[in-house]
Structure 1
Amino acid sequence: MLAARVLSDHATEVVILEPDAAVSGGTGRGAPHKEQLHALLSMGHTQLERLFPGISKELIEGGARLGTGPAVQYYIDGVLKPCAPESTMLGATRPFIEEHVRRRVLALENVNVQAAQARDLVFSGSRVSGVRLSSMQPGLESLAHDELEADLVVDAMGRSSRLGTWLVNHGWQQPPMDRMKVDLGYATAMFRRGAELPETVIAHASPGPASDYQQRLSEPGALAAVEGDRWSVVLVGYNDYRPGHDPREFRRRMRRCVAPLREVAEQCELDGSVQTFTFRESQRRNFTRLRKFPGGLVVVGDAVASVNPIYGQGLTLAALAATSLSAHLQSGASPHQPARGYFERVRAVVDAAWQLSTTADLAQPHVTGPYPRGYRLIRWAGDRVTAASVIDPVVNKAFMDVIHMREHPRALTRTRILARTARVLAQR
C-alpha cells in the first residue's frame, strides 16, 4: 500500500495484485501475525503522516491513542528510563492502521486492486516488462497465464517472496541472503481498558546489561493502548522460554514484568484468546551485491529484510522503503533501468535496522552468529551506552533516536555520547 501510494505520484496507472482481495479486503493471508502487537516507531509515524497528511488525526478520531513524552515508557532491567520528549508513538493495532492506509490509497484515481496472484515475471530483453498472473476471482482460477504489462514491477510479496526463484529461472542471479537464527516466540492478548494507567500509551520492557540480557531475570514484554478501549499486550521469549496460549500463564508472566503490565494483569478483563506466533530467523536480501540486475524491478518491505520483530522495526522499514522509492523516482531515474539508486538507499535503512537488531540478538546465549567484525568492541560499548541511558536523559535521547530509527546506530559512537556515557557511569 505504501509503495502504491508513492507510485501514484509518478504512474498513469498503479495495479495492486492481491490474492485475497476478493474475499477479505486484502488484509488476510499475507500477514499471519497481523493480530500481534505492532509498533509504529517515531520515524514510521513521521513518514506515514508525510505520505497521508492528516491520517494521524483520522486514526485518533477512530480510537487510536497518540503517545508523547512520558506516555511512552521504556524500561531496561525493570528500571524506567528518563523521559524522551521527542518520542511519539501511535497506539493502534496493525489492521486498524492498514484499514485507514488502504482506504486512502484506493481512493486515489489511478490506483486499483486486482484479485490475482503473481506467478512469474515477464521479460523484454534485460528488463522486466510485466507479470504473469492467475486470477483469484471465483470461477476464473483457470486463467493462469494472463499477463499484465508494466513499466515498473514492485515485489511486495514479503519474506517468503518467490522473486529469487523467478530470477534464476530467467537466467539471472538470485540475491544473496544473510540469516540469523533467533528462535523467538511471542504472544499477544487484548484486555479491556478502563481508567487504569490514564497517562500511559506505550510501555516496553526488555532485559539489559544488569541482567546480562537474561529473559528469565527481566521479563520482556510490552503494552499499547489501542482503539476500542483495549490494551494490546505482548510477551516474548527466546528458545524454550516462548509464551504459549494459556491465559493463566500469560497473566502470571505479566505479573513478573514491569508495573504497567502488572497493573493490567491485576485489573483488566481478557478480551478474546491469546494469539501466538513464532519467528525463527532474521533475514535480508542483498541486492546491491548483485553484479547484474534487471531494469523495471524493485523490491520493498519484508521481501528486502525481515528482522526480529521484538524491536518493532517492520512497519517503519516498510515506510522508509517507500520513501526511498519516492526519492529514487524523483531523481529522474528511468523505471526501465536497473534501480541501483533505490537499492543503495534502501540498503542504508536496512543495514541500520539489521545492525541494531542482530547486535542485541547476539547477547542471547542461544544465538550463535554470524558475528560481525568487531562484535566484542561493539557489544562492550553498546552495554555501557545502554546502562547510561537508564540514568542520563541526554544519553537516553541519543539512544531513543536510534531505537526509533531517527538516527543510524553509529550515532551512539559519537565522541560526545561516549564521553558522556563514561562520565555518567563513573559517577554512578
Structure 2
Amino acid sequence: MWRMSAARRFAVISSSESPKDQKALFRRAVVVGGSVAGLMAARVLSDHAEDVVVIERDDLTALGAGVRPGVPQGNQVHALLPSGQRQLERWFPGFVEEALAEGAVTPPRGTNRFYLDGQLRQDPPSGPAAAQGIVSSRPFLEALIRRRVLAIPNVRPVAGRAEGLLMDGDTVTGVRYVAEGDNTVTGQKADFVVDATGRSSRLGDWLDAYDFPKPPMRRMAIKLNYATALYRRPADPDVWTCISIANPGPGRTARIGGFTPIEGGRWTLLVSGYDADRPGRDADEFRERCVRDFPPEFGEVATKAALEGEVHTYHQADSRRRDFHRLRRFPARLVAAGDAVASFNPVYGQGMTSAMLHASCLSEYLRGDPDLSRPARAYFADVKVVVDAAWQVSTMADLALPHVDGPYPAGYRAIRWASGLIFKASMRDQAVNHRLGQVTTMLAHPSALTSPRFLVRALSIGARA
C-alpha cells in the first residue's frame, strides 16, 4: 500500500484550510490538562463530542491574563512560530485580528535584528516565513485561546487533579480525579480521553497500573538555564525585536538571547546559558549579562528602559520524547498531546506550535473514520511526524554544544557538515534562506532541505561563503 512521505504528511497536518466532514463520534470526551495542548485538543473534540470536559488543577473560569499557577515557566519568553499562528487562525477564525485588538504586537518591518556569533545579519528572511506575526506573552496568548475554547457551548472545565484512568479490558472508559477542595476520588466516564498534562505526565504510570507498557522515553541532556525580565517599551523604538545566537567556538560561549515587544507597552527580554553558565535573579547581574554577553541593543534596553517586576529564572535539564508509536500494546480511546508526548529546548520556540499541530493530528484521526475499538495508531503516526520535525531541528543544534554528549543520530557528522553549509548559504542566498526559514518556523518538514536540487545549490554556495 502506498504511504505518504513525512514531508507530504506534515503538509497535510499543518494545513491552513478549515476542517470539513466532522462527525459526531462521542457522547463525552475528557481532556486532562488545560494548557495550550489541552485547550487545542478540546477545540478539536468539540466538533466530535456532545460534551467535552477539561480537567485542570487551575480553575480555568477564574483565570485572567496573568501567569497560570500550573505553568512554572509561564513568565518566561515564549514564541509563537508562523505555523502555530496559522493553526490558531485555522481553528479560531479571526484570532489574529482579535489578538491585535486586545494588545498583541506586530513589529514594524525593518525593526527586527538578528545576530549570529556577534555579527549582525544584514539580509532579513524573505517569503512566508518572514510574514509579520503576532507577538505577545504566553499568559496573554493562552488566555485568548482559553476564552475562545470555553465559549464553545459543549466545552466545560472541571477544577481537579487527575489520578488515573478508568478501563474496561483494553479500552479506556474515563478518568479518575480529585475535585478541587475535595479529597474524594471521583470517576468521570468518557468515550475518549486526551492526556495533555505536560512534561511531568504520569500517563506511563497510569498505563502500568493496568499492565500496559510505558512508552519508551528518549532524553537529551541540555542543562539549559535562562532568565527573563520585563521592561517598559518606548512608543516608537528603532529596534523592536532582537535575537542573538552565539554558537560554541574559539573565544565564544554558547548563548541565546532575545527581546520582543509584548502587550502593555513592554519588552520581554531573555538571556540564557548552558551547564554551569546560570543567569540568576539579581537585577544588577542580569543587566551586566545583557551588556557584557550580548549585542549592544540588549544593553540599551537593560540600562535605559525601566525594569518591571522581578527577574524570573528557569532550568530545563533535558529535551525528551515519549515514543508512543513504538508501543505494541496500547488502550483504545486514549491519546496524548503536547509536552506529554515531547518537549524540546524552549529557546527554539517549538512547544506551543507543536501542541497546535498535535491538535490537527487529532482532527485528521477523528475525521478519518477511525476504528475506536483499536489503539489510535494513525494519530500517533502523525504525531511522530510533527515530533520528528521539531526534534531534528532542535537536537541537531544542541548536539553542537560541548557539554551535550548525545544521543547522536545515524550519519551525524555528515548531517552536521551539510547543515553548516546550508546555514552559511542562507546568509547569502534568499532562496536557501527562505526554505531554511520555513523549516525552522515549522511551516515545512526538515526533509525539504534534502532534495538533490536544493542541496546542490545550498552546498555549493555555502562552500564559497
Which TM bucket (shorter chain)? over 0.9
* Distance (Å, rounded) in 2 between the aligned partners of 1:133 and 1:166: 12
Find the partner of 2:249 among 197, 212, 217: 212
Counterpart of 1:212, as a letter, is G
* Distance (Å, rounded) in 2 between the aligned partners of 1:371 and 1:425: 24
Indicate the residue corresponding to 2:212 in structure 1.
172
Find the partner of 2:421 among 380, 384, 390: 384
- Going from structure 1 to structure 2, the CA distance change for 1:411 and 1:22 (only over 3 Å counts) comes to closer
8 Å CA contact retained: 1:190, 1:271: yes
Indicate the residue corresponding to 2:53 in structure 1.
15
Find the partner of 2:279 among 243, 268, 277: 243
Following superposition, the deviation at residue 7 of structure 1 comes to 0.5
* Distance (Å, rounded) in 2 between the aligned partners of 1:157 and 1:374: 34
What is the correspondence of 1:408-419 to structure 2 with a 5 Å cutoff? 408-419=445-456
What is the RMSD computed on CA atoms of the aligned residues?
1.9
SS of residue paired to 1:353: helix
- Going from structure 1 to structure 2, the CA distance change for 1:13 and 1:95 (only over 3 Å counts) comes to same
1:143 equivalent to 2:187? Answer: no
Following superposition, the deviation at residue 387 of structure 1 comes to 1.8
What is the correspondence of 1:6-405 to structure 2 with a 5 Å cutoff? 6-21=44-59, 25=63, 28-67=68-107, 70-78=110-118, 79-80=120-121, 82-85=123-126, 86=128, 87-88=130-131, 89-136=133-180, 138=181, 141-144=182-185, 146-195=186-235, 197-198=237-238, 200=240, 202-208=241-247, 212=249, 216=253, 219-255=255-291, 256-405=293-442
Alpha-carbon deviations, 1:81-117, whole Å to 9, x = none? 5222322332100000011110100000000001111
Alpha-carbon deviations, 1:263-312, whole Å to 9, x = none? 32243111111100000001000011101111010100000001110111
Counterpart of 2:282, as a letter, is D
SS of residue paired to 1:117: strand
- Going from structure 1 to structure 2, the CA distance change for 1:101 and 1:174 (only over 3 Å counts) comes to same
Consecutive unaligned residues of structure 1, counting only runs of 5 or more, are none
* Distance (Å, rounded) in 1 between the aligned partners of 2:451 and 2:60: 51
SS of residue paired to 1:240: coil
Following superposition, the deviation at residue 219 of structure 1 comes to 4.5
Counterpart of 2:216, as a letter, is P
8 Å CA contact retained: 1:69, 1:83: no
Following superposition, the deviation at residue 124 of structure 1 comes to 1.1
8 Å CA contact retained: 2:92, 2:148: yes
Higher mean Cα deviation, 347-356 or 389-398? 389-398
8 Å CA contact retained: 1:283, 1:307: yes
- Going from structure 1 to structure 2, the CA distance change for 1:379 and 1:22 (only over 3 Å counts) comes to closer
* Distance (Å, rounded) in 2 between the aligned partners of 1:294 and 1:397: 42
% identical equivalent positions = 44
8 Å CA contact retained: 2:60, 2:157: no
Task: Count residues in correspondence.
Answer: 420
Report the TM-score, using the length of structure 1 for normalisation. 0.93
Report the TM-score, using the length of structure 2 for normalisation. 0.86
8 Å CA contact retained: 2:113, 2:239: no
- Going from structure 1 to structure 2, the CA distance change for 1:23 and 1:65 (only over 3 Å counts) comes to closer
SS of residue paired to 1:53: coil
Following superposition, the deviation at residue 415 of structure 1 comes to 2.4
Counterpart of 1:245, as a letter, is R
